[in-house]
């Protein structure tokens, strides 16, 4: 079987992408994996620390257990999303222990998020996490730039942020960051924002973010590694397709499928109805929005040689 890193790199070289779906509630696992299989696509299933702190994912072990119930490696792999060095509430996190624990549980790729630190400290934290992951043969994603949205409270005015490029991943910093940290994939800020997770904001329909595709293309040239688009919910299709062509090889999607689950659970009071809503929405995303149905073979996920 090909490793996750090889699959992501194949997608990247071919101008394709792998979606990564977040699991804040364990009953979402079955319908998300079912949808990926039904579309004969390939996806990562991921959980971020905030999804067991602020939602009901349970923790790395609970997610790994649920994943194993439904997964097959030709369609899905397990990824550890955002393990912050400093979290959205400003709390310092023992990030290396969490990453180590997840690797021990069989997570096939991991993320360290030092994006709230200054450049030097982000490089150092990411380098340490990369040494740990690579010692276990696991690829690691890192983040540079400010993909806002997870912090409490409303965003600063979006149009102003986008027009000024404030918080965008800086080209020269990105070049240096990749060389000095050894990270395998880089999450970049190019106008994308995360869906809100706190208070009443978490139930609102997410705004349609724009992407600076010229800047993305330059980041691709500066870094020459697969780039990751966080905040994948609600981005208009043309931007998403343009981003895939310009170097995005992994697209994280959380809010859209979480809200499909929560809203249906609230209105119908039934977990299985909520699961059906997640299934339908995930199929729609794969087929209609991302156009990634049937891509499993193209990116080598069906190749059954040993890693
Ligand atoms: P959205 O919730 O905006 O889709 O972002 C998900 C994400 O980037 C998780 O890392």
User: For the segment 10-55, what is each residue's pLDDT rounded down to a tens digit?
Assistant: 999 999 999 999 999 999 999 999 999 999 999 999 999 999 999 9
Strands (E), the chain: 18-22, 43-47, 76-80, 109-111, 140-144, 185-188, 227-229, 248-253
CATH of the domain at 248: 3.20.20.70
Burial class (CB in 10 A: 0-12, 13-18, 19+), 37: middle
pTM for the model:
0.97
Contact 51, 22 (CB under 8 A): yes
| Mean per-residue pLDDT of the chain | 96
Separation of 233 CA from ligand 1 center, angstroms?
A: 6
Range of the domain at 237: 25-289
Q: Is residue 18 part of a domain?
A: no
Q: Is residue 203 part of a domain?
A: yes
Q: Is residue 199 part of a domain?
A: yes
Separation of 97 CA from ligand 1 center, angstroms?
A: 23
Q: Is residue 107 part of a domain?
A: yes
With 90 as the cut, is the pLDDT of residue 219 above it?
yes
Q: Is residue 258 part of a domain?
A: yes
Q: Is residue 215 part of a domain?
A: yes
Contacts of 306 (CB under 8 A, 6+ apart): 1
- What is the distance between the alpha carbons of residues 16 and 302, in angstroms, rounded to a whole number? 16
With 70 as the cut, is the pLDDT of residue 307 above it?
no
Q: What is the pLDDT of residues 119-147, one digit of tens each?
A: 999 999 999 999 999 999 999 999 999 99
- What is the distance between the alpha carbons of residues 237 and 173, in angstroms, rounded to a whole number? 29
205 CB neighbour count, 10 Å cutoff: 11
Q: Is residue 5 part of a domain?
A: no
Using alpha carbons, select from 305, 298, 282, 303 the residue that is nearest to residue 39.
Answer: 282
Atom of ligand 1 nearest to the CA of 197: 2
| Count: domains in the chain | 1
Separation of 305 CA from ligand 1 center, angstroms?
A: 32
Separation of 46 CA from ligand 1 center, angstroms?
A: 10
Q: Is residue 4 part of a domain?
A: no
Name all residues whose Cβ lies below 6 A of ligand 1.
Answer: 22, 48, 81-82, 194-195, 206, 230-233, 252-255
pLDDT for the residue numbered 304: 58
């Amino acid at each position: 079987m090909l490793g996750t890193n090889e699959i992501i790199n194949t997608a990247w070289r071919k101008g394709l992408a792998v979606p990564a779906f977040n699991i804040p509630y364990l009953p979402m696992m079955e319908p998300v994996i079912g949808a990926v299989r039904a579309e004969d696509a390939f996806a990562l299933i991921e959980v971020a620390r905030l999804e067991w702190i602020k939602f009901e994912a349970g923790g790395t072990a609970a997610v790994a257990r649920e994943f194993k119930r439904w997964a097959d490696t030709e369609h899905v792999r397990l990824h550890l999303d955002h393990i912050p060095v400093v979290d959205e509430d400003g709390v310092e996190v023992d990030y290396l222990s969490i990453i180590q624990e997840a690797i021990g549980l069989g997570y096939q790729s991991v993320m360290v998020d030092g994006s709230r630190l200054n450049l030097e400290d982000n490089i150092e934290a990411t380098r340490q996490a990369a040494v740990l992951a690579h010692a276990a043969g696991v690829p690691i994603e890192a983040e540079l730039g400010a993909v806002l949205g997870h912090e409490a409270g409303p965003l600063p005015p979006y149009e102003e942020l986008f027009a000024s490029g404030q918080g965008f991943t800086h080209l020269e910093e990105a070049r240096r960051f990749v060389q000095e940290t050894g990270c395998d994939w880089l999450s970049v800020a190019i106008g994308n924002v995360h869906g809100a997770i706190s208070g009443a904001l978490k139930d609102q329909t997410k705004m349609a973010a724009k992407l600076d595709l010229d800047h993305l293309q330059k980041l691709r040239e500066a870094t020459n590694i697969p780039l990751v688009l966080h905040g994948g919910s609600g981005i208009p299709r043309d931007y998403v397709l343009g981003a895939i062509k310009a170097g995005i090889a992994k697209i994280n999607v959380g809010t859209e499928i979480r809200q499909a689950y929560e809203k249906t659970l609230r209105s119908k009071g039934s977990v299985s109805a909520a699961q059906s809503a997640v299934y339908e929405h995930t199929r729609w995303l794969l087929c209609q929005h991302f156009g990634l149905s049937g891509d499993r073979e193209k990116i080598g996920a069906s190749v059954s040689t040993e890693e």
